[in-house]
A = this chain, B = another copy of it.
């Protein structure tokens, strides 16, 4: 497991006999190379920088293909910026998404606790897990510092 992590989505799809169009290649590349989590709107905007003509429907259709193929996962990052869904390449193991409720920054964390969780789920409920989505609402170090500074000047730290 995980030996294909460095293959591009395009390569993987080609191997599976999926037709690769100009539009799909653009979206796949974006998902391969993005460092942030992209939603459909972002994807469309970025894709249009490369091809003015590309349509919203194509972005959604491509993303759905990838979801069904198990190559990307869908997140909502706790709806901190609206109702859109975010997409990321599926990695070898599930990880935690930590969202700063003050500045919106999203940090990822890999920890063996996730695997332990899957084990505990099976042992305690009999449910066999095939994927876990974990999203934490949090305050990032920077925003914590800011809040502390504000507190020491008498301001209250409202959620």
Q: How many residues of chain A get a CB closer than 8 Å to chain B's CBs?
A: 38
Instruction: Please measure, in the bound complex, the distance between the C-alpha atom of A61 and the C-alpha atom of B98, giving whole angstroms.
Output: 28
A96 to chain B, nearest CB (A): 7
In the complex, chain B residues whose CB is within 8 Å of the CB of A125? 98, 107, 109, 141
Q: Which residue of chain B has its CB nearest to the CB of A124?
A: B109
Q: Which residue of chain B has its CB nearest to the CB of A126?
A: B141
In the complex, chain B residues whose CB is within 8 Å of the CB of A100? 127
Copies in the complex: 2
A92 at the B interface (CB under 8 A): no
Interface string of A109-128 (1 = CB under 8 A from B): 10101001110110011111
Beyond A113-B113, A126-B141, A127-B138, 20 additional pairs, beta carbon < 8 A: A78-B133, A96-B117, A98-B125, A109-B124, A109-B125, A111-B120, A111-B124, A118-B136, A125-B141, A126-B140, A128-B138, A129-B136, A130-B137, A131-B137, A132-B135, A132-B136, A132-B137, A133-B134, A133-B136, A133-B137
